[in-house]
Amino acid sequence: MRYLLLIYEPERPPDAEIPPEVMKAEMDAWGAFTQEVRARDVMRAGEALQPSTTATSVRIRDGRTVVTDGPFAETKETLGGFYLIDCRDLDEAIELSAMMPNAGRGTVEIRPIWELPQDYASAEGREAVPAH
C-alpha cells in the first residue's frame, strides 16, 4: 500500500544562522533515512519544499480566482517535504516514520494514497473527474 509521509516541523526564521556542523548533521540524518527507504525498496518519491513564505494559495470565491501569498493556514508547524513510500502495511509506514530525523521535534503525518480507478486519473476523454 502506498503512503505519503508528510514532514511537519517548526519553521526556522529566514534569517536564522545554522552552524555548518548542525546543518551537516541534519543533512546526514536525512541522507541515512533516504538510504534506508531505498534499501527496503519502498521509496517511490520524495522532495523537500521551499519555506512557507514562498507559498501561493489559490481559492475560487464567488466565481473569482483569489490568489494570496503564503500558506493557507497559520500553524506552528509547516509542511517541509514528503516521502511517497509503498509499504506492506501501516505498521511498516509507522516504523519508517519513527526513523525520520524530524520525528523528535516535529510531526510525521502518514496519509494512505487513495487508489483511484485509472480512468479517474486520466484526462483523456473525460471532461471532469467525478466529485467524491
pLDDT tens, the chain, 132 aa long = 999 999 999 888 878 888 999 999 999 999 999 999 999 999 999 999 998 888 898 889 999 999 988 776 667 788 999 999 999 999 999 999 999 999 989 999 999 999 888 887 766 655 554 544
pLDDT at 116: 85
Whether the CA torsion 60, 62, 64, 67 is positive or negative: it is negative
What is the distance between the alpha carbons of residues 48 and 27, in angstroms, rounded to a whole number? Answer: 12
Cell of 126: 473525460
Global pTM reads: 0.81
Residue corresponding to grid cell 536564522: 16
Sheet with strand 43-48: strands edge to edge: 43-48, 77-86, 2-10, 107-112
pLDDT at 132: 46
